[in-house]
Amino acid sequence: MNDLSMSGVATFDAERVRQDFPILNQEVNGNPLVYLDNAATTQKPDAVIQAIVDYYRTDNSNVHRGAHTLADRATEKFEAARLKVASYVNAGEARQIIWTRGTSEGINLVASSWGRTHLKQGDRVLVSAMEHHSNIVPWQMVALEVGATVEAIPVDETGTLDLDALASMLDERVKMVACGHVSNALGTINPVEQIIGMAHASGALCLIDGAQAISHFDVDVQALDCDFYVFSAHKLFGPTGLGVLYGKLDLLHAMPPYQGGGEMIETVSFAGTTYNQLPYKFEAGTPHIAGVIGFGAAIDYLQQLDRRGAQAHEQALLAYAEKRAQETPGVQLIGTSASKTSVLSFLLEGTHPQDVGMLLDQQGVAVRTGNHCAQPIMDQFGIPGTIRASFAFYNTLSDVDRLFEALAKARQFLV
Residue ranges binding ligand PMP (CB under 6 A)? 102-104, 132, 134-135, 180, 184, 209, 211-212, 232, 373
Nearer to ligand PMP, 133 or 173 (CB): 133
**What is the sign, positive or negative, of the torsion defined by CA atoms of 80, 85, 91, 97?**
negative
Choosing from 179, 206, 226, 373, which is the catalytic residue?
373
Nearer to ligand PMP, 184 or 202 (CB): 184
CB of 370 to ligand PMP, least distance (A): 11
CB of 244 to ligand PMP, least distance (A): 11
Burial class (CB in 10 A: 0-12, 13-18, 19+), 301: buried
CB of 135 to ligand PMP, least distance (A): 6
Burial class (CB in 10 A: 0-12, 13-18, 19+), 116: middle
The distance from CA 37 to its chain's CA centroid, rounded to whole angstroms, is 13
DSSP letter string over 375-403? HHHHHHHT-S-EEEEE--TT--HHHHHHH
Cα–Cα distance, 20 to 140 (Å, whole number):
41
Nearer to ligand PMP, 198 or 230 (CB): 230
Nearer to ligand PMP, 43 or 184 (CB): 184
CB of 136 to ligand PMP, least distance (A): 10
Nearer to ligand PMP, 103 or 342 (CB): 103
DSSP letter string over 40-96? T-----HHHHHHHHHIIIII---SSS-SSHHHHHHHHHHHHHHHHHHHHTT-S-GGG
CB of 137 to ligand PMP, least distance (A): 11
Q: Is 226 a catalytic residue?
A: no
* Beta carbons within 8 Å of 282's beta carbon, 6+ residues apart: 98, 100, 109, 113, 245, 252, 255, 257, 258, 259, 264
> What amino acid positions are annotated as catalytic residues?
373
